[in-house]
């Protein structure tokens, strides 16, 4: 088996970037749930669920791109 790769800790004083809290994953999950339940109950629920998933996914991607763009140029992953 492969040994797990050890990652070096960032140097002292280097800030670790973490994304901010967001409600978008919960709304996306709610949209998926509505769409799945709507397949047995009503097409309206499917439409609302799909629109919710698309809207939250687009906003989530925009927020992530904005966060990444705000990182310093010498930032490594």
Structure confidence by residue, pLDDT tens digits, 45-77:
999 999 999 999 999 999 888 888 877 777 665
- pLDDT over 70, % of the chain: 78
pLDDT of amino acid 72? 72
pLDDT of residue 71: 74
Mean pLDDT of the chain: 84
Segment 9-30, tens digit of pLDDT: 766 665 666 777 889 999 999 9
Residues 23, 52: Cα–Cα separation, whole Å: 13
What does the chain come to in residues? 77
Q: Give the CA dihedral 69, 73, 75, 77, nearest 10 degrees.
A: 60
Over the Cα atoms of the chain, what is R_g?
Answer: 19
């Amino acid at each position: 088996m492969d040994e797990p790769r050890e990652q070096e800790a960032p140097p002292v004083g280097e800030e670790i970037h973490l994304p901010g809290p967001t409600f978008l994953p919960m709304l996306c999950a709610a949209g998926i749930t509505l769409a799945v339940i709507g397949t047995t109950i009503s097409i309206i629920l499917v439409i609302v669920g799909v629109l919710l998933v698309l809207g939250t996914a687009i906003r989530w991607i925009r927020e992530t791109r904005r966060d990444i763009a705000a990182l310093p140029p010498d930032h490594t992953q």
